[in-house]
Amino acid sequence: MEYTKKNYKKAPLSSIHFRIYFALALGQIACGFALGISGTALSQATDYINIPDFWVGLIGAGSLIGLAGSALMGKIADQFGRRRMLMLDMYLFSIFSLLQLATMNLVILFILRILIGLMIAIDYTVGNALLVEWLPAKESGRLQSQLIVYWTIGFITSYIAGILITGFGAHNWQIILASSVVPGLMAAIYRSIFRIPASPSWLASQGKNKTAQKLIQKHLGKKWGLSLKQIRSKKPKAVSLKTLFNPPYRRKTIVGGLFYACQAFSFFGISIFLPILLKSMNLGNNNLSGIIYNSCVLIGVIFGSLIFKILSRRMFLVRTFFLSAAALILLIIGNNFSSFFQISVFAIFAIVLSSGLVLDYPYPTELFDVKVRASGVGTCITISRFGAASGTFLLPILTHLGGPILAMLICTLVLLIGGTICLLWAPETSPKYI
């Protein structure tokens, strides 16, 4: 009997797609907020308690270290599915956020930041895998690239929240840290009310074709179903880390991880500890300078999402790496120039580097097929978090040792390395340029 169902990946956008997308967008806001809030809180904490630069950097990097668990989360998701993990992680995220109120012990605080990072890892890895496996193929890259806008909104909101939350004396910095419970609960409650469906592609990869077909038809209509390729495919073997570093995935894994790591090193290092960096640059009104910088980050990701389909993935990355490095070099050279000049160049740097962030979600996802996607994306994110954690850990230390010039010089070198890696080895994944 001839198979008559149309491939569900060719279906038009519908309510189920937007339900999933909004559930993940709320998660992105929460994740961006939690990552951004640490720098603002810790810069205040040093006014009340004695925290060495080592611990400032380590606690600031805590959530990013937790994000290194993305490979593990991806592996679990490839074996056991996506939905349940996404239904639970934001509740745990909220609990860990709130517990930051209960301690001033630096070790316990560091552990809580790691646990928050693990929950963020689930949203990054599992959420993106689920989203790409539901979205129509033609819309997947565009909508994935726009998720960074929501993440940036969360990140910027955390900076503003850090300025506005006052009046709690020596505990003010703890209130600031714990404020991430608000967006976390919003995401968790939404996911409980508007339940996230399982991934049809993952169900098919596990040999559960009938369940997948029923799920598709429930949400998209009777004429849609799995592709013939998915129906005929056998249940894959468990994905090991070794698989991702063997052909045909080795180059994709290394490039996907290293571009992400080099980008994250500079972005998180500078953005999370922006208050410390701005104070050392003596630009005048640090709050105003910070708002300008963060506003330019938002402008950058919006601009990046608009030109996402115009440029090839590879050249997009290459240009953002080299142009943002050039902006930092200009800042180093113009260290004694006017505050207006420095803020203007810093704003350009923020726009250029953040525009490249729109590839953080779609590019690693596009590098891997469904059999290894969550594991592959998770591994790339894990590698990237070593870069992000290193940048966040080192920036307060570098700024203390050599001022803003040393911090920006190291960030410049890392950006140049990232640009070179992409220029020489990055695979092209854009359908328009393949």
Q: Is the pLDDT of residue 186 over 90?
A: yes
d(CA 37, CA 157): 9
pLDDT above 70: residue 195: yes
Q: Which pLDDT value is given to residue 241? A: 76
CA distances from residue 79 to 75, 235, 240, 353 in whole angstroms, order as listed: 6, 11, 11, 35
Q: Tell me what pLDDT residue 320 has.
A: 97
Q: What is the three-class DSSP state of 225?
A: strand
Q: Using pLDDT thresholds of 50, 70 and 90, give the confidence band for residue 175.
A: very high
| Cα three-residue angle 355-360-366, rounded to 5 degrees | 125
Q: Which domains does the chain have, with CATH numbers?
A: 10-197+239-425 (1.20.1250.20)
**What pLDDT band is residue 361 in, cutting at 50, 70 and 90?**
confident
| pLDDT value at residue 205 | 81
Q: Kindly state the tokens that stand for 9.
A: 């990946």
Name the one residue in this structure whose structure tokens are 């570093």. Answer: 245
Return the minimum-mean-pLDDT range out of 8-12, 74-78, 278-282, 309-313: 74-78
Given a contact cutoff of 8 angstroms between Cβ atoms, the answer to whether 385 and 74 are in contact is no
Distance CA 70, CA 375 (A): 8
Could you tell me if 208 and 234 are in contact, meaning their C-beta atoms sit under 8 angstroms apart? no
Rounded CA gap, 71 and 381, in Å? 7
143 contact partners, CB below 8 Å, separation of at least 6:
21, 131, 135
Cα Rg, the chain, nearest whole Å:
21
Tens-digit pLDDT profile for residues 403-422 = 889 999 999 999 999 999 99
Q: Are the beta carbons of 30 and 90 closer than 8 angstroms?
A: yes
pLDDT at res. 96: 97
- Half-sphere exposure of residue 349, counting CA atoms within 13 Å on the CB side? 24
Residue 157: which of 131, 126, 193, 184 has the closest Cα? 184
pLDDT for res 153: 94
- pLDDT exceeds 70 at position 173: yes
In this structure, how many other beta carbons lie within 10 angstroms of the beta carbon of residue 312?
15
- What average pLDDT does the chain have? 88
